[in-house]
Structure 1
Amino acid sequence: MNKRVILGMSGGVDSCVACHLLLKENYDVIGVTMNLVPKGKLYDEEKGCCSLSSVMDAKIVAEAMGVKHYTMSFREEFDKKIIENFVREYSLGYTPNPCVACNKYIKFNSFVDKIKPLKADYIATGHYAKVEFDRTYNRYVLKRAKDLKKDQTYFLYNTSQNVLSKTLFPLSDFIKDEVRQIAKNENILTYSKKDSEEICFVQNKDHGSFIKMRNPELVKEGFFVDENGKTLGKHNGIVYYTVGQRKGLGIALGKRVFVSKIDAKNNTVTLSDEDLLYKEKIKIREEHFIPFDKLENNMIVNVKIRHGQTEYKGELFYERDELFVEFEKKVRAPNKGQSAVFYLDDLVIGGGIIDEVY
């Protein structure tokens, strides 16, 4: 009897080609599309990876491939776990990454729970990542995909052993151009569909306006200050700003200035020259490791402090039970609230949320 796989189908080219590849491997595939974004005028249901048109694309592709397809609602969990956290973090002066949280809480953990009645052997997604069982660690490990430009392991460092043991990533050994070519050759209607790179619940890439409309009580005018605390002018609310930002500040000082600090307690945003953005050390909260449960000894790793290909060499170590990274060279604008993810070559060691910068 063929092994059953529940495939998360967003309706994009990647998950559709993943479906094709799984069928070629003789898996019994069932496609599931997640409804994530809550309903209401605050949200645009045609944005992001879970739009109404994407649901229809997934249904059409599944039907063409002879695959059962279901739509499941995760709107309540998404609102509570992702959107509420996003708003709260910005109100505290952090810069959260909702895609990291969504993969942890929704696209894997909640997904695995909700599909239990379908009695699957595996789950699968169209992520660019690789999972293997490593005999050295005696655990399942997460590794970079072949396509380093599209690699999505940064968003997946929180994946548990339970989930990794049941997960297939059919695109792990393909580059994006090959995936699109497969889709074109197989007449998959999404072959030329653009990738979704926006935050699915924020319209016009304006997270500040979104937060003001959703939780106006959290947005209060305050003051821009310089590094010595001198008042420079008024700001619209700390939720509009992120460390490293230069454009859209709404203040002219006769020289280039950057947001270098956000102080939620005093409701101030510090503006300074670019050199104050460079930091040598970060503290990590909510750390999660994959090849082991806890770091036993200091470790030299490559670190991503935001999604992208740039990495920085640094040393991981505990100090009074708190995890730190000290970089070999100072790095520009590590943002509190973003995830720092640790690598040894292609192996994902783990990651956590940046809590303090020094």
Structure 2
Amino acid sequence: MPTEHNNTIAVAMSGGVDSSAVAALLRAQGLEIVGLTLQLWNQRRLAGHEGMPESVQGRCCSIDDVYDARHVAEKLGIPYYVVNQQARFEADVVRPFVSEYLAGRTPIPCTLCNNHLKFDQLLITARQIGADRIATGHYARNHYDPARGRWILSRPADYTKDQTYFLFGLTQDQLSRTIFPLGEMQKPVVRGLAAEAGLAVAQKPDSQEICFIPGGDYNLFLKAYLDEQGEPMPDTSGELVTTTGEVVGHHEGIQAFTVGQRKGLGLSTPNPLYVLSIHPDSHQVTVGPDDALLSRDLYANRLNWISIPELTEPIRVTAKIRHRHTPAPATLTRVDAETVHAIFDEPQRAITPGQSAVFYQEDEVVGGGWIT
């Protein structure tokens, strides 16, 4: 149930307009604010290495973002701290990302970061500096429901900025100590608040790339990172095959593919072919027509429940299988304590192992897990 909180709130400041607007908004409300930025990755670490681009523009958590966050804190007159979490970020986010890709799955590092690092470490640091709550610039809503005795996570007013897909791993304790001031706001209003507060980041573009992968070339990052670590790139080369087993080509490694991919197959065919599935044991990549990507069900494990304590009987949900996917109606059934089975009313395209499946009832997040 809700607990009494003190008047000090730690704001997770990324250097972007959203978290900066949150700091300005809470400061204007007369609350005691402390700014925190997690230093997660050395943006120059692999720049130019093994063909990696030199530019670090457009990524979250860059050194420029730290400078912007510090400038906002100075403008607002609030204490500001940078917390170095590079070692933990590499262990909990980067290494699992590398391992998943080499195993033929497609992980989501931003979700891994939220689940295993950001909220956990921010709350620990907040307590150390006398704050028992954190505020973030995520577009989401949360509240306590006394009837269920649970904290509820819901989609924001601005559906176009909905970030609940990346937050399904938050625990009840984390939700009880987190506030999302932008949950009821539209993005243009947020920019307006930042402008009114005189913040230079008011018109700063949103970051688009994963913080440690400039240019978005995952395969290039894997090569550069493993080379830096003195580790050989595993030989996962193999065959491109059809659903009937016919060999139609060869590839240089399963890590270069994801389900639904069309480009980069190296095949010339009358009709477009797409990656249907990846087989890490045989190193085969199955390709086929677009309609073969449609599937009626998925299994997910490593579950976290939010609006319910656990799944005990089949329930109706809408399930989201990627960030830009429109939640689709499905029936969710427990397989065992670690696994659920979702059966969609209509086939969904490119259900991808390694991605998250997040389950909703109307705007509420029921819970989520990782597609197997």
With the shorter chain as reference, the TM-score category is: over 0.9
Q: Is the 8 A contact 1:243 1:260 kept in 2?
A: yes
Structure 2 counterpart of 1:151: 162
Structure 1 counterpart of 2:82: 71
How far apart in 1 are the matches of 2:107 and 2:23?
Answer: 31
Structure 2 counterpart of 1:279: 295
Superposition deviation, residue 26 in structure 1: 1.7
Superposition deviation, residue 107 in structure 1: 1.3
2:242 corresponds to 1:226: yes
One of 313, 322, 341 as aligned partner of 1:324 = 341
Q: Is the 8 A contact 1:29 1:68 kept in 2?
A: yes
How far apart in 2 are the matches of 1:245 and 1:288?
Answer: 29
Q: Is the 8 A contact 2:58 2:208 kept in 1?
A: no
SS at 2:159's partner residue?
coil
Structure 2 counterpart of 1:134: 145
Q: Is the 8 A contact 1:262 1:270 kept in 2?
A: yes
5 Å matches for 1:1-358?
Answer: 3-38=7-42, 41-42=45-46, 48-215=59-226, 216-308=232-324, 310-321=326-337, 322-355=339-372
The one-letter code matched in structure 2 to 1:19 is A
The alignment's TM-score, normalised by the length of structure 2, stands at 0.92
How far apart in 2 are the matches of 1:289 and 1:320?
Answer: 14
Give the aligned length.
355
Superposition deviation, residue 40 in structure 1: 5.6
The alignment's TM-score, normalised by the length of structure 1, stands at 0.95
Superposition deviation, residue 285 in structure 1: 0.8
How far apart in 1 are the matches of 2:309 and 2:46?
Answer: 40
Q: Is the 8 A contact 1:47 1:201 kept in 2?
A: no
Superposition deviation, residue 320 in structure 1: 4.5
Gaps of 5+ in 1: none
How far apart in 1 are the matches of 2:205 and 2:301?
Answer: 34
SS at 1:115's partner residue?
helix
Moved more, 339-348 or 112-121: 112-121
SS at 1:190's partner residue?
coil
Superposition deviation, residue 102 in structure 1: 0.6
CA deviation map 1:196-243 (0-9, x unaligned) = 121110121100111122234235322111112221111121111100
Percent of residue pairs bearing the same amino acid type = 36
Structure 1 counterpart of 2:52: none
SS at 1:63's partner residue?
helix
Q: Is the 8 A contact 1:2 1:26 kept in 2?
A: no
Q: Is the 8 A contact 1:219 1:238 kept in 2?
A: no
Q: Is the 8 A contact 2:43 2:63 kept in 1?
A: no
How far apart in 2 are the matches of 1:218 and 1:16?
Answer: 43
Superposition deviation, residue 70 in structure 1: 0.6
SS at 2:307's partner residue?
coil
Q: Is the 8 A contact 1:2 1:28 kept in 2?
A: no
Superposition deviation, residue 303 in structure 1: 0.7
Q: CA RMSD in A?
A: 1.6
